[in-house]
Amino acid sequence: MDRSFLSDAGVIAQSRDFVCVRLATFEDKKETTFTHSLYSTRRTPQVNTVFTILAPDGKTPLLAPGRSPSHTLGSDDPKTLVAAMKRIAAKYRARHRSATPPIPYGIDLRRSLNVAACDMQLLVVVVAKSKAKRKSIEKTLAPLVWSKELVGVLAYATAKPDELKALQGAKPVEGVFVVVAGPYGLKGNVVAFATGTSASTLKAALKKAIAEFDPQAKDSIRHIRDARWLGIEWEPEVKSPYSRPRR
């Protein structure tokens, strides 16, 4: 959203006191309705980015909602956001902390691939036939997800073995797949796999994939132009006011 803020070391460090949510914009009807209730304009009733900080009830804005941190705070200096976060965190001290928070999965594999492509992150896909098997894998994965080395570095999704058609190199087996999303977020290539039974093996696979990952920055104008030339279309769950009419 606003890289000058969200990639700032001070903001990242202060974010440990908050539950940070990466919006899926027009990819979820409930979320679109909620973000619209927080912020909209007469010209654009549904905006594609919203920033605010909510109270623990998940509803009450503690900062005036805006399009970005700079819009909300009226400043381009990340220190202003750090100061606001510190002030808010001091008022809402956690009564207790979970030893291991849940893994921040995306909505589904299709949309998680798209988000990973947009954010230029590796996507970790937990594949399991049953909820019990998924929980078993999560016992190994979750501590790594929230470790100092890996926190905030990867994107996550879940799937069943028969839902991996978009992943080149994926076999219909249970375990943890590390995926490089394609440039348009429609497909992905598997670059690492682990069964999820050994923490050391899984950690080694994740770190190796991260070390070898070389994301390329995208020129949005060229990216959109090439997609149109190739006939690539993305169908969001909610029609975006920014969408270009088809011809």
pLDDT on residue 112:
95
Give every CB contact of residue 68 below 8 A, 6+ residues apart in sequence. Answer: 1, 2, 5, 49, 51
pLDDT on residue 26:
83
More confident residue, 98 or 203: 203
Give every CB contact of residue 235 below 8 A, 6+ residues apart in sequence. Answer: none
| Residue 222 pLDDT > 50 | yes
Q: Picking from 133-137, 175-179, 183-187, 199-203, which range would have the lowest pLDDT averaged per residue?
A: 183-187
Q: What is the pLDDT of residues 80-119, one digit of tens each?
A: 999 999 999 999 987 666 678 899 999 999 999 999 998 8
More confident residue, 125 or 237: 125
pLDDT on residue 44:
63
| Residue 221 pLDDT > 60 | yes
| Residue 139 pLDDT > 50 | yes
Phi and psi, residue 199, nearest 5°: -65, -40
* Residue 244 binned pLDDT confidence (cut-offs 50, 70, 90): low
163-181 average pLDDT score: 96
Give every CB contact of residue 6 below 8 A, 6+ residues apart in sequence. Answer: 12, 69
* Residue 174 binned pLDDT confidence (cut-offs 50, 70, 90): very high
Give the rounded distance of the alpha carbon of 147 from its chain centre: 17
* Residue 1 binned pLDDT confidence (cut-offs 50, 70, 90): very low
Give bridge partners of residue 101 from the DSSP assignment: none
Measured distance CA(78)–CA(6) in Å, rounded? 8
Q: Picking from 17-31, 65-79, 205-219, which range would have the lowest pLDDT averaged per residue?
A: 17-31
Measured distance CA(204)–CA(113) in Å, rounded? 23
More confident residue, 171 or 235: 171
Specify the fold of 109-212: Glutaredoxin (3.40.30)
Q: List the alpha helices (DSSP H) in the chain.
A: 3-6, 9-14, 29-38, 69-73, 78-91, 109-119, 131-145, 199-212, 220-230
For helices 199-212 and 131-145, what crossing angle results, to 10°? 60
pLDDT on residue 240:
67
* Contact between residue 100 and residue 144 where contact means Cβ atoms under 8 Å apart: no
pLDDT on residue 247:
43
**What tokens appear for 12 in the block?**
């990242």
| Residue 199 pLDDT > 70 | yes
Task: Provide the whole-model pTM.
Answer: 0.84
Query: For the chain, where do the domains classified as CATH 3.40.30.10 start and end?
Result: 109-212
Measured distance CA(60)–CA(62) in Å, rounded? 6
* Contact between residue 177 and residue 170 where contact means Cβ atoms under 8 Å apart: yes
| Residue 129 pLDDT > 60 | yes
Determine which helix (DSSP H) or strand (DSSP E) holds 178, and give its type and residue range.
strand 175-181
Percent of the chain with pLDDT over 90: 58
Give bridge partners of residue 123 from the DSSP assignment: 155, 179
**What tokens appear for 147 in the block?**
């470790």
* Top mean-pLDDT range of 19-28, 31-40, 185-194, 211-220: 185-194
Q: How large is the C-alpha radius of gyration of the chain?
A: 19
